Amino acid sequence: MIATATPLSIQTPKPPTLSDTTSSTTPTFAQVKARYQAAGQSHLLRYYDSLPPASQSQLLHQLHTLNVERVNQIHTRATTCPSPLLTNQSVFLGPLPEDRFDSVLEASPERTQEWREIGLSQIAQNKVGVILMAGGQGTRLGSSAPKGCYDIQLPSIESLFQLQAERILRLQVLAKEAQKDAQEKLVIPWYVMTSGPTRKATVQFFEDRRYFGLERENVVFFEQGTLPCLTTDGKIMMESKSQIAVAPDGNGGVYAALRSTGVLEDMTSRKIAFLHAYCVDNCLVRVADPVFIGYCVQKNADCGAKVVRKKSWDEPVGVVCLQNSAFNVVEYSEIDEEVAKRTNPKTGQLVFGAGNIANHFYTLEFLKHVSSELFEGEMEYHIARKKIKSLDFTTGELVAPLKVNGMKLEIFVFDVFPFTSRMAVFEVDRLEEFSPLKNAPGSGQDCPETSRRDILLQHVRFIEAAGGKVVVGEDDGQIEGAPTLEISPLVTYSGEGLAKIVAGKSIKTPVSIRSLEDLEKAVF
């Protein structure tokens, strides 16, 4: 199937869409009609005359601001220039170049510490920001709330948002303590990307909890863009007689959103140089990880990707590798079995074993480049064929189809990889850094129970690595075999600072530690 080759505020943003910014004046019906007739999309005005004035105005405004010509171009590009992996074009996969790949699993403690110090130095100079992709709802989890609000039933009842906020707070303290030249006011700005449906609830969640201790001005919300839903022949669909049917443009829409909402300008004004970006559903994510940032800075990378080692050759995860000599992510289903099973004779590890976890590093300059309107035309849009509830133009009724009737177009966050000139790929320990929350409670994999288990087991390892002993109490119910031992990120980011209290001592579960004082009281 595939040949292989040795590798050669922003608090109230304008949602990023394919908008036409050539005119800010109110258009006339005739102007909009002429434009949409030329684009072959005049059906969107079929019910205009039957609408009340307010709905007419709403529809005209939406059609005026939509760059319908660009929508047509994207549809043409997506349907006539599909990925070569889906055609008979020659595709050559190559392993990652050795000089652009390192593994924390193989690195010496001295080298890991060197990367950490570089990263902490950049954080101490206020040069690091964080981008959180948090547009998804917890629908598959049985919740209509934003996924970041989800409670995985930790003893502290902390949500994903709170866990991540507290890691930022702790890291700011660590950087301040580690660097003599740290800024007097050390800040890691947090840029939180929501979607239209999750924006209000996300902001309210943060406000109700006083931003989890972060300063409000350093938590910046911005909104993911949308694209119209299309029929198979490229006609824009409608969800009502006065409203176009739209869908989020994929996590790769973060790049256009950074530009259109003013986030890039905010980053520039703060003199940020490096960004860490990740998805909200990983409960173990090391936010603004100084080791990862330090590694990428040392490599002079403009883009970086964290990966985890595949559990087996057939694990269903995308792989970061070279595709026709360019960095890319190739889906597991697109790699021949023989190729997927290949191992490196030196290490015995899979040649194509760098599992993608959507955890990235960027320089601000690279983000500015890939977020530009000119660059947008180079991005590959992917087609997701779906059952889309839409207006039937014959009856004028909203119809829920029984079979696939249209498509949604989206970009993936890793679609910029082929455009980097200085990529860096960093393998980390899955056990310590990756536990995604994808599936419903009770499903047994990537679900609330496994997320909770992975956090609690990590905290047991923290204590043991610090020289302490964990004693499981008789009244500890233990879920998924994990002793009920929780340590707040406010106490430790990745296990540091515990040895002075727990070395040579024991701690009995169940217990939830929110401060060093709590820890001192718990040990015996």
Quote the CA–CA distance of 249 and 512 in Å, as a whole number.
40
- 349 and 482 share one domain: no
Element (H, E) at 225: none
- 459 and 427 share one domain: no
Q: Is 498 exposed, middle or buried (0-12, 13-18, 19+ CB in 10 A)?
A: buried
| 308 domain residue, yes or no | yes
pLDDT (0 to 100) of residue 203: 97
Residue 50: how many CA atoms within 13 Å on its side-chain side?
A: 8
| 343 domain residue, yes or no | yes
- 209 and 312 share one domain: yes
| 24 domain residue, yes or no | no
pLDDT (0 to 100) of residue 143: 86
The residue assigned the tokens 């019910």 is: 47
- 285 and 420 share one domain: yes
Element (H, E) at 253: none
- 299 and 375 share one domain: yes
- 425 and 307 share one domain: yes
Closest-CA residue to 360 (of 310, 430, 425, 290)? 425
| 186 domain residue, yes or no | yes
- 361 and 466 share one domain: no
Q: What's the CATH code of the domain at 286? A: 3.90.550.10
- 97 and 134 share one domain: yes
| 261 domain residue, yes or no | yes
| 517 domain residue, yes or no | yes
| 120 domain residue, yes or no | yes
pLDDT tens for the 524 residues of the chain, in order: 343 333 333 433 343 334 443 445 677 899 999 999 999 999 999 999 999 999 999 999 999 988 899 899 889 888 886 554 444 456 789 999 999 999 999 999 999 999 999 999 999 999 999 999 998 888 888 888 999 999 999 999 999 999 999 999 999 999 999 887 777 899 999 999 998 889 999 999 999 999 999 999 999 999 998 889 999 999 999 999 999 999 888 889 899 999 999 999 999 999 999 999 999 999 999 999 999 999 999 999 999 999 999 999 999 999 999 999 999 999 888 899 999 999 999 889 999 999 999 999 999 999 999 988 767 667 788 898 999 999 999 999 999 999 999 999 988 999 999 999 899 999 999 999 999 999 999 999 999 999 999 999 999 999 999 999 999 999 998 878 899 999 999 999 999 999 999 999 999 999 999 999 999 999 99
Quote the CA–CA distance of 186 and 173 in Å, as a whole number.
8
Quote the CA–CA distance of 495 and 435 in Å, as a whole number.
18
- 296 and 336 share one domain: yes
- 427 and 473 share one domain: no
- 452 and 379 share one domain: no
Element (H, E) at 151: none
Q: How far is CA 265 from CA 209, 257, 302, 304, in A?
A: 28, 12, 19, 22
- 452 and 350 share one domain: no
| 46 domain residue, yes or no | no
- The answer to whether the peptide bond before residue 489 is cis (omega within 30 degrees of 0) is no
Q: Are 275 and 131 in contact (CB under 8 A)?
A: yes
Strand partners, 26: none
Number of domains in the chain: 2
Q: Which of 399, 433, 467 is the last residue of a domain?
A: 433
Q: What's the CATH code of the domain at 464? A: 2.10.10
- Domain of 332, in residue numbers: 3-8+81-140+177-232+245-384+409-433
